[in-house]
Structure 1
Amino acid sequence: MRLHRLEVCAFGPYATRQVVDFDALGADGLFLLHGDTGAGKTTLLDAVAFALFGTVPGARAEAKRLRCDVAQPDAPTEVVLELTVQGHRLRIVRSPEYERPKRRGTGYTRQQAKASLTWLTPPPDGGTAEAVTRSDEVARVVERLLGMNSQQFFQVVLLPQGEFARFLRADTKERAELLERLFGTERFAAVENWFGSTRKARRAELDAKRAGVREWVARLTQAAGVDVPEAPDREWATALRVRAETGVAEAETEERAARAAWEQARERLQDRRNAAERVRRVRAAQGRLAELERGEQERSRWVAEVEAARRAATVAELAVDGRTVEDRLDRAVAEESDAATACRGLGFGEVDLDVEELRRHAGRLWEEAGGLAGLVEQAQRQHADRRRLAALDESIAYYAERIAVIRSKLDGLPDRVSELTEQRELAVEAEARLEGVRAREEELSALLDDAESLPELDRAVAAAREAENAAEAAHNEARSALLDVRERRLAGMAAELAGKLADGESCPVCGSDSHPAPAVATADAVSEATERAAAEHEVEADRKREAARAARYEAEHRRDAAAQRVGGRSAAELVEELADVRAERLRLAEYAGRSAALAAAVRSAKEEEQRLLAERTSHERSLNENEAERVVVAQGIEERTRILDDARGEFSDVAARRDHLLALGSALERLADARTAVIGARQQRDDRRRSMADAAGRAGFDTVEEALAAVRSAERIAELEDRIRRAADEKAAAAGVLADPELVGVSVDDDVDTGPAEEAERAARERAEAAVAAVRACERVARDVETLAREFEAALDELAPAEQEFVELNALTDVLGGQGQNARRMSLRSYVLAARLEEVAVAATARLRSMSQGRYSFVHSDQEDRLRTRGGHGLGLDVLDDYSGVVRSSKTLSGGESFIASLSLALGLADVVAAETGGALLDTLFVDEGFGTLDGETLDVVMGVLDELRAGGRVVGLVSHVEELRQRIPTRLRVRKSRTGSVLVAGG
């Protein structure tokens, strides 16, 4: 990473835009940022951190107060950083969230945080060159390029004030996270995870295969009907097969014997049943013949009844037709009576006329009704025209009324539109002036607040000055006291050292074992604790003095800003002017508030006028059309009325007269038809009676009634014939049975018992069925055992290599995870990180020994962490003190020793990372303070080491107020502070 340019505006103590050209500063590889305390040296490093990660190191991040208090209200708080990372140049712009004064009126408004990242060279991985504009996305891009987050950046690149030793004293977990991201060792953790997940998957697969073997063993033992053995194997499965096959052979032998015995028993039973069946057949045949002899007389009557019914069938057919003719005659007579009644009801009394006369009368009536058909249509048209005439009268009245109403509405509408338009123009003018009056009101209100607050601000300035003077006096007193205490301490230092001497021990000053005249403490001598207390009191007094000075500056700034805004006007003048402006604002607001309503009213009035005009024109047109149509319709009704009155006669209308004529013609025609039907029905009845008498005589009956009495239904005849036929068939069948040669010699008195044979056959059958079932069961068991044994052996074949593979995988996973045969008890990830840390320790030791003049060396410890922190095993880092030969914890180093150790560690880490990544990553280092803890000789050594860095192209920026550094480093950037904000002076 290499920085090129930094811009800050309204950030920290920098009220105006300041620019740092790192390319010029870092040309020699070493530069210095110096200035007074509180001027803003550390703020420049904070600006770099804020641009990269959106946060600043240390406790300043918790304050969340990055905007300059003395910046102009319109000056944006902004940090711009240009840098190159891994060969890609980019520009980052960030603004924090802050509150700025409102542009109008009093108070503050919140300005939201913003960030953007612009690629000045093609982005990595061929990605899009579009700017990144979300704060979190900008931070993620920076972290991905740098390979570290903000906290890790503060440990190895930008060493913040008061946090030099953070990486040196970091716990193992934090140190592991930093090393893993810097050296990209996530792949080793991924290897561990892969082996762990693979072992878990293989264990699950192995357990499934073992469960499968156990399942096949359980099913095989269940099928074979044996107990589960302790160690089932292939020999056990083979033994079960042999056992099952032997059982099948034994069951088949028993089945053959049982089938032979059952066959013999069935043959004996069949012989007994055949004998019993012959006796039964003889008994049944003789019994049926006796029964038929008893019913012979009844069958003779059935034969006679059938013959008589066949002879009377012709007479019966004629009788049925006769009844049909009689029914037809009755209906014709009834129809004639109804038709005559209908004719009388229609006013025709001559109903006794013959058929021809009735038909002539009906024809004349129909001709007369046909002549009235056209007049009926005219009558229907007359009714429709009268309804249309009434509808036209209603429409004419409606349109005349609507036209009158519309005319009354249109009379005052133009004047109303004109009045509303004028009011709308006044409201628009007021609306345009209102915003300016409001702004003026807010401005005057703010000025009035400033004018009223000036006396209080003057008092606050006076009080702040008094507090500053008091704090200045207190600090002077505390500093004088500290100098006096230090002077007395130095004067009594010999006595203090003499008090620690003991006989026989060397003096730490001269080295002598004898002490002839040790110094004696004077009455005004002070102790180290007294000196420390005086120094702390001086520091506290200085802090209060600076706080009082800042408070006085803040009070003067607020008072001067308020006085400048008021501009010499009094509060009374501002009150009077504000009252006039408020009255004007209220008047304009009243007019402006009506603007929208008046605009809507104008539009509505104009739209209503157009609508009424269009509606009036439409109604007038409809009124004229209806009046013209009414004249035509009324003339037609008058002419048609005279014609219809002549044609209807004594009836209500023409249609009623025509309906009467048609109805009477139809009634006469009906009467003629009914009278014709009566004559024909009587003739048919007489003919049918003569035919029936002739048919009865031919059939051998004396009368028609005798023939009809012998008639039987077809069902009855079929039933009698069936009975006769079945009786003859049964008699022939019984005779045929008795004539069968098999039944010769069989008597009805013979008795055959089949019980013993049936019992023997049932026992033999049950034995055979049991034998068959036993064979089937044995065969099923044999098949199941054979199938399950094959499956069991296949499962064993799959299990053996899986178990061998898992043993190897499990042992290797344990070794990678720091278990099993791993003697160091270190995981692969920890081992790799420990190796990297060991390289860092070696590189850092070269610098540490030089800075400590050969006293200290870094010692990498791979002992197991007693807290068992994940990933931290093997990441211990201690120091070897060559003076005592003891390995010490880094936490026991003093302030100056911690500083050079942290600086050496940061440089060593940068060297290793650069070698790992091709020297393209950590080529910039910032160190904020800490040089004040070094003595002159150590400072010379440290500066010599830093000078060596420039040969490799690395840039080191130092932030310090130590005066000696200004003499040693030619490239400097001074930060000068003032009341109006700090500024940068190049080469100062």
Structure 2
Amino acid sequence: MKPLKLELEAFGPYANREVIDFAAFGGQGLILITGETGAGKTVLFDGLMYALYGQPSQRERDAQMLRCKNAEPGTVTRVSLTFEEKGQVYTVTREPMQTKLKKNKKEFKKTPDPERLELKTETGVLENREAATRIRDLLGLDAAQFSQTVLIAQGAFRDLLTADSQRRQEIFRDLFGTGLYDRIQAELQERARLKREELKACVAENETGRRQLSLYDGVPFDGAACRKVLDAEATEICTSRASLKERETALQGLIMQAEQLKARAQEQKRKALLLERKNKALKEEADCRKRLRELEPQEAAFAKDRNSIGGLEKQAADARKAESLQTDMEALEASIGRKGDEVRKTGAELETDRTRLQALREVPVQLEQTRAVLAELEKQQTRARERAQLVQELEAVRKTLGQALEKFEAANGAWVRANRRFLAGQAGILAASLEAGQPCPVCGSVDHPAPAPLEQDVPDEAQVQRLKQKAHEADVRQQQAAAAVHEREGRLSLLEDVPVRELDQKLRESKAMLQGLERQMEEKTRLERQVPGREQALETLRKEQTALETKLAGLRSSAALLTGTRGAQELEAEIRERRQRCDAFDRELQESRKQLAACESRAAEAQAAMDQIPDAEQVSEAAVKDLETRRQTLSGDIEEDRRRLEERDHVLRNDVQRLKKLEAGFAKQAELEQASADVSMLARTLAGTQSGMQRISLEAWVQMMYLDQVLEAANRRFLQLSRGQYRLVRSEGQKKGAGKTGLDLAVEDRFSGEVRPVQTLSGGESFEASLCLAMGLSDRVAAANPGISIDTLFIDEGFGSLDEESLSKAMQVLSELAQYRCVAVISHVAGLKTAIDRQIQVKKNQGTSHVRLQV
């Protein structure tokens, strides 16, 4: 990957848009990124990292915190990187989630997406997730690998040189990405722990199941012995079940005998009951016959009473009719009284209507007169309104006339003045053409004592004609306005000036009078229709009153003929009393005959039922009771034996199920014991704690392999920088703390043959070792990914501790690196400014930074 151009806007300390044109440096050689501390040198690499991966180069920096605090509110934070990869040019643009200015330039809003990413290729544009995937595919590195290979941060490798074993393993984990192997070790240890817990739970469950067996005796589990005991118990249960079946058969025999005896005893009881029922029926039959003999002599007397009821009913009907006529007469008398009241009321209302109608006879004439007066007043009001309107119009046209006169005078004056200037100008033109001794074309004189001077700014004839036309048009308009004034003054003189307020008052009074007369006219019309109706109603009421009086006289005559000595109520009471006595006698007679027939039927039915019961040997109650006692005793014994047998069978079934489950549990326990042993041994092996084996963890072993590869690449440069004296080696010494051996670093002094700790190196030597380690790591990552081309390398700080000779050697190594790639050194060391003339200068001014290229 070769960066061509980096654009930063409102990013880090860069408030404005800054463009870093890497292509201007030719794509190879040394470049110095220089500037004072805090100016934002490393932020340039952060911008490159953010454009590609959406995160800065250092973990402690949050992508959301990269916006410049001094940027204008409307400026969008944006990073754009144009780079070349395998001959193709790509441009990636990324914007973090931020607050943007709305279109109205007054309010702010947050962007809806967490981040916006765009990748322009030669074939099209990709966005967001597709763009991120395409970038990773192009570069072949994730963010961590890219940061380790493209940026050499000196601090991390100096820590690596001086750290203890535990810290060195953590650093290696970050540098080599071996956290996966540590997680594998932890996962295996967790699985071993879970297997041990699962085995422990299985053992406890099996012990609980063994204790639940009914045949448990506290001895260790023996499946074969348990099955032998359970088989014997099953055989004994089968034998007991057969014996129980025989006793149940005997019980059925006793039950049949008892049922037969009970049936015979029931027949005997039934026959005795039938005999008792027959005797009772015969006694009741004799009583019924005796009662009938007593009732038959009274039947003729009650028949005579029944025949006399008809005469009494006729007398009662006549009495009721007479009472009804009396009620009707009272009702007619009341109706005649009410009808008389209606006649008097209707007569009074009729007289009132006639009087009111006489008082209203002049209303039609008054109504017509009032309408005529109102019409005349309305005409006067219309003329008054027309005159007021003409007054307003006259004022308006007079105003228009005044304006038209002013415009005419102005236009006419302008035309007169222009015409005078035009004529004067013509005289000057003619005077200019006069010659001495030649006749004047106007007067013919050959002497020209005072020729007219030539005027300046003389209007031409067309201008004079336009002004004349405007004056004419203004004259026409003022004449039209004058005619309008004259016309309205003439119309106004023809209209009488009437006081409007007095006229309005008369109109209101006339309208009120008209409304009152109209109401009186409506009342008169209503009375004229109402009086004939009342007269007819009065005549009808008088006829109805006469008819009622005639009917009352007829009713009084009929009532006199029906009047007797006994009242209807007395007769009806006697009729009811006689009818009740007769009905009671009839019911008693019928009931006695019905009871006699029923007694005869019951006696016959009892005898017939007795005839159907065969004669049999008498059964004693003691025999039945003894047999029932034997049946109950045997039944109780059988039920108790059946209950015990079911309990034994239930226990046996449970034991069989528990035994099957227990056998499966012990098989699972054996499997878990083997699995737990296997996983535990594998976990101890990977953790380096297995006895009898090399005590080194899987992660440490992988880190050792990575470290050997890095040291091999680093020593090629370290030997050169140290002039063949020093070589970094991995210490093989055994140290306290299993699993941590093989990761210690040492330095081999090839001049003395001594191997000593890296802490004994001087400051400059430590820097050289750190630089070589960083380059070695970059080489290892590149070698592990042969399809990746690392055309640019950033080296951040660390040169301040070098003397001139060490700095010269470091520059020599960097120059060799820069033969086929671009190496950007991030430093503020003054000596590098002299040694590297191609520079990216970062300057800080009033809280914001700017970039300037020195190619």
Q: Same fold (TM over 0.5)?
A: yes
**Equivalent position of 2:632 in the other structure:** 762
Q: 1:950 aligns with which of 818, 832, 839?
A: 818
How far did 1:250 drift? 2.2
How far did 1:912 drift? 1.0
Q: 1:878 aligns with which of 728, 745, 763?
A: 745
Preserved CA contact (<8 Å) 1:49 1:56: yes
The one-letter code sitting in structure 2 at the alignment partner of 1:147 is D
**Equivalent position of 1:165 in the other structure:** 158
How far did 1:904 drift? 0.9
The one-letter code sitting in structure 2 at the alignment partner of 1:711 is D
CA gap 1:913/1:258 in 2 versus in 1, 3 angstroms? same
CA gap 1:285/1:50 in 2 versus in 1, 3 angstroms? closer
Distance in 2, matches of 1:824 and 1:668, equals: 150
CA gap 1:124/1:735 in 2 versus in 1, 3 angstroms? same
Distance in 2, matches of 1:181 and 1:789, equals: 55
The one-letter code sitting in structure 2 at the alignment partner of 1:710 is F
Report the 3-state secondary structure (helix = DSSP H, G, I; strand = E; otherwise coil) of the residue aligned with 2:587. coil
CA gap 1:267/1:711 in 2 versus in 1, 3 angstroms? same
The one-letter code sitting in structure 1 at the alignment partner of 2:615 is E
Q: 1:227 aligns with which of 211, 216, 227?
A: 216
Preserved CA contact (<8 Å) 1:880 1:887: yes
Distance in 1, matches of 2:512 and 2:121, equals: 86
The one-letter code sitting in structure 2 at the alignment partner of 1:906 is A
Preserved CA contact (<8 Å) 1:859 1:878: yes
Distance in 2, matches of 1:811 and 1:46, equals: 49
Return the TM-score normalized by structure 1. Answer: 0.50
Preserved CA contact (<8 Å) 2:711 2:729: yes
The one-letter code sitting in structure 2 at the alignment partner of 1:949 is L
Matches of residues 858-869 of structure 1 in structure 2 within 5 Å?
858-860=728-730
Distance in 2, matches of 1:58 and 1:278, equals: 110
Distance in 2, matches of 1:208 and 1:126, equals: 60
Matches of residues 119-518 of structure 1 in structure 2 within 5 Å?
119=118, 121-122=120-121, 127-128=126-127, 147-148=142-143, 153=147, 157-159=151-153, 165-166=158-159, 168-169=161-162, 221=213, 225-227=214-216, 232=221, 235=224, 238-239=227-228, 241-263=230-252, 265-266=254-255, 269=258, 280=269, 295=284, 297-303=286-292, 335-347=324-336
Per-residue displacement from partner, 1:442-465 (whole Å, max 9, x unpaired)?
A: xxxxxxxxxxxxxxxxxxxxxxxx
1:897 aligns to 2:748 (yes or no): no
Greater CA drift, 851-860 or 89-98: 89-98
Q: 1:837 aligns with which of 707, 724, 740?
A: 707
Report the 3-state secondary structure (helix = DSSP H, G, I; strand = E; otherwise coil) of the residue aligned with 1:227. coil
1:931 aligns to 2:814 (yes or no): no
The one-letter code sitting in structure 1 at the alignment partner of 2:585 is A
Distance in 1, matches of 2:123 and 2:297, equals: 125
Distance in 2, matches of 1:773 and 1:834, equals: 77
CA gap 1:752/1:179 in 2 versus in 1, 3 angstroms? closer
1:638 aligns to 2:635 (yes or no): no
CA gap 1:326/1:967 in 2 versus in 1, 3 angstroms? farther
Q: 2:602 aligns with which of 729, 736, 743?
A: 729
1:45 aligns to 2:39 (yes or no): no
CA gap 1:735/1:910 in 2 versus in 1, 3 angstroms? closer
Distance in 2, matches of 1:194 and 1:676, equals: 129
Preserved CA contact (<8 Å) 1:14 1:981: yes
Give aligned pairs, total: 660
Greater CA drift, 927-936 or 791-800: 791-800
**Equivalent position of 1:522 in the other structure:** none
How far did 1:85 drift? 8.6
Structure 1 residue runs without a partner (length 5+): 99-109, 351-364, 376-622, 694-702
Distance in 1, matches of 2:310 and 2:205, equals: 94
Preserved CA contact (<8 Å) 1:843 1:911: yes
1:846 aligns to 2:716 (yes or no): yes
Report the 3-state secondary structure (helix = DSSP H, G, I; strand = E; otherwise coil) of the residue aligned with 2:586. coil
Per-residue displacement from partner, 1:380-399 (whole Å, max 9, x unpaired)?
A: xxxxxxxxxxxxxxxxxxxx
Preserved CA contact (<8 Å) 2:3 2:81: yes
Report the 3-state secondary structure (helix = DSSP H, G, I; strand = E; otherwise coil) of the residue aligned with 2:127. coil
How far did 1:21 drift? 3.3
Report the 3-state secondary structure (helix = DSSP H, G, I; strand = E; otherwise coil) of the residue aligned with 2:728. strand
The one-letter code sitting in structure 2 at the alignment partner of 1:770 is E
CA gap 1:637/1:304 in 2 versus in 1, 3 angstroms? farther
Cα RMSD after superposing both structures = 6.8
Per-residue displacement from partner, 1:128-177 (whole Å, max 9, x unpaired)?
A: 16999xxxx99x999x9963469x949971537x7772454567788767
Distance in 2, matches of 1:973 and 1:669, equals: 141
CA gap 1:237/1:668 in 2 versus in 1, 3 angstroms? farther
How far did 1:955 drift? 2.3
Q: 2:585 aligns with which of 694, 701, 710?
A: 710
Preserved CA contact (<8 Å) 1:931 1:939: yes
Distance in 1, matches of 2:561 and 2:684, equals: 128
Preserved CA contact (<8 Å) 2:149 2:793: no
How far did 1:910 drift? 0.8
Structure 2 residue runs without a partner (length 5+): 100-107, 354-508
Per-residue displacement from partner, 1:593-646 (whole Å, max 9, x unpaired)?
A: xxxxxxxxxxxxxxxxxxxxxxxxxxxxxx999999998776444212123234
CA gap 1:911/1:806 in 2 versus in 1, 3 angstroms? same
Distance in 1, matches of 2:197 and 2:319, equals: 104
How far did 1:345 drift? 0.9
Per-residue displacement from partner, 1:657-712 (whole Å, max 9, x unpaired)?
A: 989999999999999999999999x9xx99xx9xx99xxxxxxxxx9897545221
The one-letter code sitting in structure 1 at the alignment partner of 2:21 is D
Distance in 1, matches of 2:757 and 2:224, equals: 67
Preserved CA contact (<8 Å) 2:6 2:19: yes
**Equivalent position of 1:648 in the other structure:** 534
How far did 1:985 drift? 6.5
CA gap 1:863/1:707 in 2 versus in 1, 3 angstroms? farther
Preserved CA contact (<8 Å) 1:276 1:752: no
Report the 3-state secondary structure (helix = DSSP H, G, I; strand = E; otherwise coil) of the residue aligned with 1:926. strand
Report the 3-state secondary structure (helix = DSSP H, G, I; strand = E; otherwise coil) of the residue aligned with 1:920. coil
Distance in 2, matches of 1:754 and 1:924, equals: 120
**Equivalent position of 2:414 in the other structure:** none
Preserved CA contact (<8 Å) 2:726 2:747: yes
The one-letter code sitting in structure 1 at the alignment partner of 2:706 is R
Preserved CA contact (<8 Å) 1:826 1:873: yes
How far did 1:737 drift? 3.8
**Equivalent position of 1:21 in the other structure:** 21
How far did 1:275 drift? 7.1
The one-letter code sitting in structure 1 at the alignment partner of 2:242 is T
Distance in 2, matches of 1:755 and 1:881, equals: 119
Q: 1:917 aligns with which of 785, 792, 801?
A: 785
Preserved CA contact (<8 Å) 1:118 1:131: no
How far did 1:962 drift? 4.8
The one-letter code sitting in structure 2 at the alignment partner of 1:48 is F
Distance in 2, matches of 1:264 and 1:978, equals: 122
Report the 3-state secondary structure (helix = DSSP H, G, I; strand = E; otherwise coil) of the residue aligned with 1:4. strand
% identity of equivalent residues: 21
Preserved CA contact (<8 Å) 1:265 1:764: no
How far did 1:770 drift? 3.0
The one-letter code sitting in structure 2 at the alignment partner of 1:765 is S
Preserved CA contact (<8 Å) 2:2 2:792: yes
Distance in 2, matches of 1:58 and 1:966, equals: 30
Per-residue displacement from partner, 1:301-333 (whole Å, max 9, x unpaired)?
A: 355589899999999999999999999877766
Per-residue displacement from partner, 1:891-939 (whole Å, max 9, x unpaired)?
A: 5543212211211111011111112233637553333554353344433
Distance in 2, matches of 1:837 and 1:276, equals: 113
